[in-house]
Each structure stands twice: as C-alpha cells, then as structure tokens.
C-alpha cells in the first residue's frame, strides 16, 4: 500500500517481496486521461531499482501521450531500448489470491 511521504504526489511503498523500500512520485497527470509516475528504490543493500510508468484511462493512449511518456522516461535516463509499450490485452484478468 502506498503511504504519503512528503509533498503531494510523493509516496513510499514497502515491497512484500524482499522488503525493499520504494519511493513513488506522480510526476504529471491531467486527472482525466493519463498519469506519469517515477519509482525508485530507497537506500537498501540490494540492487537499485527504477521505473517510469504511464497509466492511461484508455487501452490505447494517443500518440501525444505516448510521446510525452517517451520524453519523460528519456529525461530520467531511460534509453529508447528500455522504453516499452505493452500490447493491448482484450481479456479481463481474474483476481487470484
């Protein structure tokens, strides 16, 4: 579960898999169509982790949003090869315990 940590849009999270502490920031959103998030591991003995995420209310975000995300990820040091848009999944996934 995300816990507020600092200014609005900043959260912390402890992974149930290994107990890593992660810092999650909502960097940009228009509240109707998309949100850009940046996640990175806090100080820990394990390897560093970082991730840029695009959340979209549609399964097929428009070209402008995709370009915005690509620029956002590159500005945070991700390479073109490290930026991936997953294929659409038409199936609903069942909840598993």
At residue 82, the pLDDT reads: 92
Residue 24: name the closest of 35, 86, 78, 75 by CA.
35
At residue 44, the pLDDT reads: 67
Total count of residues recorded for the chain:
97
At residue 58, the pLDDT reads: 86
Read off the pLDDT of residues 22-79 as tens digits, 9 standing for 90 and up.
899 999 999 999 999 999 987 766 678 899 999 999 888 999 999 999 999 999 999 9
Q: 3-state SS of the chain?
A: CCEECCCCCEEEEECCCCCCEEEEEEEEECCCCEEEEEEEECCCCCCCCEEEEEEECCCCCCHHHHHHHHHHHHHCCCCHHHCCCCCCCCCCCCCCC
At residue 56, the pLDDT reads: 92
Select from 1.20.910.10, 2.40.128.20, 3.40.50.2020, 3.90.700.10 the CATH code of 3-79. 2.40.128.20
What is the model's pTM? 0.79
């Amino acid at each position: 579960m995300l816990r507020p940590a600092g200014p609005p849009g900043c959260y912390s999270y402890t992974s149930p898999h290994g107990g890593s502490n992660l810092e999650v920031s909502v960097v940009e959103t228009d509240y109707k169509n998309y949100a850009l998030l940046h996640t990175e591991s806090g100080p820990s003995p394990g390897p560093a982790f970082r991730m840029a995420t695009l959340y979209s209310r549609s399964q097929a975000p428009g070209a402008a949003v995709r370009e915005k995300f690509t620029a956002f990820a590159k500005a945070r040091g991700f390479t073109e090869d490290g930026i991936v848009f997953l294929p659409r999944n038409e199936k609903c996934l069942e909840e598993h315990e």
